[in-house]
Amino acid sequence: MLLALVIVVGIAIGFGLNPWITQIATDPKAANPLPTPRHPLLGGPTWVGVLVAAISGLMAWICYRDYGLSLRGIYWYAMSLVFIVIGAVDWKVRLIDVLLVLIATIAALIGSAFLTFGFKASLIGALIAGLLFLLFFAGSIVLYPDADAPFGLGDVYLAFLMGATVGWGYLGGVLIYGMGLAGLASLGILVMRQIRGEGTLYIAYGTYLCLGVLLYMIKFGPL
């Protein structure tokens, strides 16, 4: 009974996230800002809003499974919600909200000191991931000087957050999941371009990185 209640509350929280996601996604700073949806609790496109709610419910169950109704479980659930929001927004409009990422990174560093694997592991993880993606960003600019770089600075900020959240001990596995998903998506896009003879090479890289964190939590929790 309690498990069912946890899942239902998680789904309800997910629907509650959609207006916030929509607010960020309609920001004119986005590469492709969306019009305000007709149904705020569903967001736009509707299937993304429903998926947000479903993943929120799933992560509520995962955190309850691994940590019970504890402060640590609430912390991990809150962090999973952050990655859901970031991933949904980046999928919709190619935008990673820097302020949200900064606040979440600080929260992860503080939370790690009291609830998880320690501040030192969190800080080292943030530095490793951030510097690695900074190299990726610099390399993409060199390789693609006349086109949009495959990596944006938003992905670099997100990498700092990922490292701070999972620490250096789990970082390798999380990156394998996230970058692996992005690689599969890129392969699918290339195949479709060959079939249709058109289409964009852009992928919402941040979305796949966020999914990598969530998938790792689902499969290998508790962290």
Q: List the chain pLDDT tens, one digit each, 223 residues.
A: 888 999 999 999 999 999 999 888 776 665 555 555 556 666 667 888 999 999 999 999 999 999 999 999 999 999 999 999 999 999 888 889 999 999 999 999 999 999 999 999 999 999 999 999 999 888 877 766 655 656 678 899 999 999 999 999 999 999 999 999 988 887 877 777 667 665 555 678 899 999 999 999 999 877 8
The pLDDT assigned to 31 comes to 55
The residue ranges of every structural domain in the chain are: 1-95, 96-223
Cα 99 to chain centroid, rounded: 14
Distance from C-alpha of 161 to C-alpha of 105, rounded to nearest angstrom: 5
Q: Which residues contact 95 (CB under 8 A, 6 or more apart)?
A: 24, 25, 27, 29, 30, 31, 89, 154
Tokens 């419910």 sit at which residue? 57
The pLDDT assigned to 116 comes to 92
206 contacts 158 by C-beta, under 8 angstroms:
yes
33's tokens:
């800002």
The pLDDT assigned to 32 comes to 56
29-45 b/e with 16+ CB inside 10 Å = b?
ebeeebeebeebebbbe
The pLDDT assigned to 106 comes to 97
The contacts found for 128-134 with CB under 8 angstroms, 24 or more apart, are 128/163, 128/168, 128/171, 129/159, 129/160, 129/162, 129/163, 129/171, 129/175, 130/156, 130/157, 130/159, 130/160, 130/163, 132/159, 133/158, 133/159
The pLDDT assigned to 47 comes to 87
Distance from C-alpha of 222 to C-alpha of 133, rounded to nearest angstrom: 26
State the helix-helix crossing angle for 98-115 and 119-143, rounded to 10 degrees: 150
The pLDDT assigned to 33 comes to 56
Helix (H) or strand (E) holding 223: none
